[in-house]
Every structure is written in structure tokens, then in C-alpha cells.
Structure 1
Amino acid sequence: MSNRGVPYALSGVGVLLCAVMLCGFAYFLSRGTLDAVALVTHASSLPFAALLAYGGYWLSHGDVSPARHRRVALWVAAGVGFFVALFAVIAFTTQSDWVARVVILGWAASTGGGTGFLIGAFEARAVERAVAAERVRVRNEELRRQNERLDDLASVISHDLRNPLTVARGYVDLLREDGDADDERLAAVQRSLDRMDRIVGETLTLARSGRVIDDPEPVDLGEYARHCWANVSTGSATLTVDTSAVIVADPGRLEHLLENLFRNAVEHGSTGSPSHTPENAVEHGGSDVHVRVGTLDGGFYVADDGRGIPEADRDDVFEPGYTTTEGGNGFGLAIVEQIVDAHGWEIRLAEADGGGARFEITGVETRPTLGTAVAETDVTLAGAG
């Protein structure tokens, strides 16, 4: 018998034993020989038989793995075998009526089977808990090693890559002070160094954003959205905060998440040409974008009314390095996804009501609104230069 067939077999045995005991009860009642001993025998066996019948259903619909079902069945068989063997001697030495013998054996099978099921079920649950605990331990160990690797990567990025950039910038400054070098060429070198520094910074953020979050705390989403908007160069773009929700998150990484979504909206959400670089996105069309932050059932969203993202490209936008903007690094949304994963949330890219992009983040734990939360639920802010 397969593991998945065990629950049905147990339920069948339980129903059969219930039928045997009820038939015996009817037999003795019809003959007028139902004494106190027979009544107790029938009454005490029915709960165990019913337990077996229900136990099969519980196994098939419970959280015990099918791999443990056969083990439970072995406990039931052992209980039935032990009790039947023990009471068979009593039945055949004290009773001459074959119906009485069957009733005694039915009681023994019901009691032994029910007891065996209880032992098997408790053992199966204990094994499941032990296996789950071991999986958690292994997972935590994997996360610890992952965090160590991320720390090593962050150290390499922070020191081994940024130090040469600092030296190169120093030489550029010295050349400017000497006045002998071509200012236009020095400016080109400076722009390249700035771009390299930006890539290093975003790569460092990407590495750190994947670390497991150990100690999240309640954060006023609306207040944080306004704070993050002020940190981003958004020109005359506008933000509407349509939430006073309090979510449980890591404040630092939530800040990175919102800032990257805001930058993405301004730099890529323009209704104009997408060929501008991040440095001049605000001056070349991104300023007409309107961004809204609001709540969902179990989460929140950030939406804009810009060009939006074609459905065919939505699976690629979170890949590191994916960008449609000249000069873009393609790390912004990859960082967002890393932060979402580190929180245990989920992110979905959809089309906003106005045709723009709408990033929906769900699986977010919420808390009752803090006493310091802003009362307004619809606050619009102009962009920052």
C-alpha cells in the first residue's frame, strides 16, 4: 500500500470496527442479555474506533508528511495485534457465544488500534517538528554564510575599488590646479570617474541589500515616503502620499527601496525621449511625472503616470544591469528586489491607472497607526531640485 493510501485504509478499519461493535450491541439488546459489562465494552470501544475513522481523514488533510503515514499505520497494526492476541485468550476461554467472542476481539482491535494511532500520530508530529527545526538550522547557516560572502564583497567594493578612484580624483584636481591640462578633457575624465563611483556605490548597495533583516521595526510609510522624496533630485515632479499606514521594515533599506523607485519614476517615467542620462533626467522630460504612494491589502504601491513599461519587458527590469536609459547602470530595480526579498515580501510590476508603471509590494506586516503619524491621507509634494 502506498503512503497516500494509508489514511483511507485507517478510516475504513475504523468504520468497520464501529459497525462490528454496533452490530454486537444490537445483537445483545435484541436477546435481552445486554448487561453492564457488555454495555461498558461497547461504550468504551466506540471512541477508539471513531478515532481511527477520523484519524485517516486527519492524516490526509493535516500537516503530517505522507512519508510518515506508513509509520503511523505500523503503530496501529502493532496496537491491534498486541491487544487482539492478548484478549483472544480471554475471549476463547471465558465465552462460548461466538458473537461475544467477536465483540471482545472488536473491543481489543478498536482499543489497540486507537492507542497505536495516538502513539504514531504523536511520533509523526515530533519527527516533523525535528525535521522542520533542522531545516531552519540549515537555512540559518546558509544565510550566515551568505551574509559573510556579502560582507566580503562589500569590503572589496568599499576599499579595493574606491581607493583607486579617490587617487584618480586627486590627480584630476592636481592637474586642474596646475592649469596646464585641457579642462574639457579633465571634465570628461571627471565624469567617467563620477560614473565609476556611482556604479561602485550602487553595487555596494546591491550587495548589502541582500542581507537578511534581523530586527525590523514599525515605520510610518507616509512619513518615510516624504523624507525619501526630499532626498531625490526630482525637479518639478510631484508626489502624492495617500497613506498613513505603519509597516514593519528595516528603516535604512526601506529608504533605499523608496528612493530607487522614485528615481526610476523620474528618470524612466517621462513622456518624452528615453535617451537622456540620469544626470539630466530632470531637465529633459522627467519633471512632468506624478508619483503616488498608497496602500494595498497587505502592502503598498508606488505608481507614476509616465510612459510605463511594456509587458514583455516586465520580467527583465529587476535583472542587474538591465536599463533602457543611456548612461544608466541598471542596478536601481535590482536593489529594490533584493530589499523586498530580504524582508520576505513580494514585488509585482503592473500598469498604473494612468498608463505608467505601478510597483506593488505585498506580504508586508502592518501595525496600528502610530500616534505621531500624519493625519492627512492625501498629501502632494513638489519635486526637489
Structure 2
Amino acid sequence: MARSPRPPWSDGLPPELLGVIFEQLSCLADRACFAAVCRPWRTAAAFVDAPQRGLPWLLLPSRDAPSFFSLHSGATRHLTLPEGVRGARLCGAHDGGWVAVAVDPWRGFAAVNLFTGVRVTLPEKLRLEVPYAHGYGPVTVTSHHPMLVRTIVFSAPPASPDCIAAAHVSSASNIAFWQPGMSRHWIASRPEPDVIQDIIYYSGEEKQGFHVLTNREEVLVFAPRAGRDPNALLEMTCASYQMRRRANHLPASFIATRYLVESRGKLLMVVRHCTGNPRVRRRTRMFRVFEMSLLPTGAYWLEIHELSGRALFLRRGCSRAVEVSQFKMLKEDTIYFLDDTNVDMCDSMVMNNGSRYNMGIYRDGKKIRAGSRQFPRVFTADCSPPIWLVP
């Protein structure tokens, strides 16, 4: 008489023990793997509260083997991407697993949720309206232009009807806006900002909208025109904080890259200083952090010398601040940064195979050497730079 097959060992663990084990898994990817083992493990997982969200994954795109690094576990894992994302350039991210992609520099723009597969197609043309004085009265000339997309930022999940997107582009204007229902084009905005360093959507103490940081450290705020017809063409207004110019700039031998980060309801500007000698490999020398301080007559950047229990994750368009107390694997006053010091559109938009991107950790005024939870230090790209993704 044949023996009946033994049940899998995984079926024999008591639910209480499974629950204790599951609670020790802080990474969402680890929890998903746990729940996929068998029905009893999946049942145990259903009774445990979800982990604290907000700690970003480092997404490492690749045509052949895309992966992500999780600080929760200190591990790099393979990531299966939806159709149309693998091999595309990643040019933005939004909480909940959303990324903005470009199939090639001039076309194939979309927002895709990496976990659900939901895809929102974005237009490939920029609509520009220019008023002209005419003998018979004012005339508005409308034209449509191809565009290169550098960064896309969303005000809400891209599939939401209330979402508005802002894009840093190279075209007839350097900034463009889109909302659901605009299937043919983005709209340009006037006035056009100076050289754009970063864009975030921020609901501030004084202004709400897309905050655009320029290379002069000015901040412009673009928001939908108040009282507009929601069914009409999107119209954006532009306001300025009238920033006071700070006097303590470093010499021209340093190249500065600037980021905007929202933290504790405040707007931070992080300045990354790199060596600018063309004969020497570009290296990060220091970071300086400033907080916007508002005055009745304008605003100014106030330097802060410690992050006071925070860690920063920097990359244009998707930077974020995280409270260290919520994640035991983090140390305070730490900056995780991705290499985007090269602001030349031709270099950053048209990717060549073998492009190398340095990544690093900065803490207590110095760069931390390799070995901190196996954080990757160099990434060789074949399609896109790395990006922070919040699951």
C-alpha cells in the first residue's frame, strides 16, 4: 500500500508563529513573497497590519534584467515590469508605484503603474499660443512642436481625474502642462522660467501648485487659473516668491545641482556641490540644505546644518524626506543621492549603452564608503538612469 504524500513542511507551522515571522518583514517585496508560498501563509499575512510606507525603493532599469534595491532588506531583487516599460527611459515617479516613461526621446510618453499595469498615455506634442498685434486687432497664433521630456511631476495619481502633470521639456518652451482629457498636446506656459533645476508639487503655507526652482535659486509657482471652466482648455498662472539672493555662493570651480524637497510642511532646497574641473572625474564634494523662510515682502533661503531626525533621498522630480524614527534601518542626517549632475539635455536625454551613474550616501559632512546595507554605488545603464520609486 502506497504511502500518502507528506504535506509540505510550510503547512505545519502554527498560525501564531507565521504571524510573528511576517511581522519581522518590513519590506513589501518580502511580504509579497511570504504570502505567495501557500494558502496558510497567505492567511496569516492577511491578519498583520501593513508596514509603514514612504521609504522609497531604488529602481534600477534595464532592458534585460530590471531590478530594485530595498533599504528595508538591504537586497537587490528582480522586478517584472509591465509591457512598454522595460527598456524605456524613466523620467518621473509618483507614490503608489507610478512611473513616467519615454519609449524614445521624442515619443512614447506615458504614466504606468508598475504593480497594477494601469497605463495613462501622455501626448507627444507641445501646443504654444503666441499673441500678435494685427492691423485688424489682436491675433493668437497656435503652433504644435515636438518635445524632449526630461522630468514629469504629477499633482495626484495619474489615473485620477484631478491630476495635473508638469514636465521639464526641451521644445518651444522649457515647461509644459497636461491634464486628463488632453489627448493631443501639452500646453506651454508664459512666462518661461529661467534654467530649470527641479520641479515638485507642493501645497505650501502661502502658495499651492508646481514649484519650479531655477539656477538662480528663484522659485516660481504654476497653478490652474482660479475659477476656470473645468471642461475648457487648461490654463496655468505663474506667481513668484520674490526670493532674496543669498550671498554665500561657492566659487565657479564648483558645479551646483539643486533639488526641491518637501519636509514637515516646509520647502527645502538641497544644493549638491561637485568639482567642475573638466580634466578630473566629477565628484560630489558637499551638500548644503536650506529651508524657505517667508517674509511679508518675499522669501529667503535659510541654511540648516542638521536634518534633525530626517533622511533625504535626492533625484530631480522625485526627491523626498523621510522621518528616521519610522524606519529602524535608517540613520538620521543622511542623504542618499543619485548622479544627475549633468544638466545637458543632449547627454541626459539620449542614453548611450554603458552610461555609468554614481550613487552615494552623505552623512555628517562626508561621503560614506561602500558597505552601508549594500547600497549600490555604481549603475551601468543601457536604457535609463535609476530612479526612486515609492511602492
With the shorter chain as reference, the TM-score category is under 0.3
State the structure with more CA Rg. Answer: 1
Of Structure 1 and Structure 2, the greater helix share is in: 1
Q: TM-score, normalised by structure 1?
A: 0.21
TM-score, normalised to structure 2, is 0.21
